[in-house]
Chains A and B, each alone.
Chain A
């Protein structure tokens, strides 16, 4: 059952898990975590449980990462340094845009 493909996937899994912890940038970390979920879902396929694979792909890679992204945005941790003007106070035009969202 365990063949070379599985070993490669397991290696990727461990690399992803470790680099999620040691990554300095939160955004990169979340994206690596997303790829961790994708690899995990392929591994569920290899272990012959396709229903878990579907759930892992939808919840682990999709919804969880989206919630992480939203949280990072809320705590203003997704702005890089070139994008400082994002923190400037809103002018009237942008207020209008926010009102009709």
Chain B
């Protein structure tokens, strides 16, 4: 007699994870290396400013809203911050996730308590819903939104929701829900290199590039 929930969990922890990790790592490298190899045309003009320092500075300054933008699009900015910080806390400070990272790369750090993790996860999901709402409500955003955007939104939210359900055993069998949570994270891993989720890696490259162009021209980025 088998427990199908355990079979699913073992598939998620075994072949499922292997497939997802291979696609994630292979996909990220493919895209990053392709961008680097493609390169840019060399600018032969003498730089008027400092492209390197402005490039590095821009990596960080673009995380701060431009003047007036917070007032113009508060949900986008606040929702964006809350989602990213919440997701970061829920992923990096849950003991089970730290055990995963420890096994993957040998790094270990103290875990946070359940109250903080769950507050962060719940805030993240609420932020995602708010961001989805602005996409529907604002005609410009609605026109700009593609299937890819909805896919990324759903895939980002699923691990948070399923993780919350699995840890608190809100419904479903605990083994099944753990399997579903891992599978939802694996879906995110598979989609990562081929969707806008890739910004988590390329944001630094893109910001540096934009900042360095301004720096080369002698402008403050």
Do A and B come from the same complex?
no
Q: B-contacting residues of A (Cβ < 8 Å)?
A: none
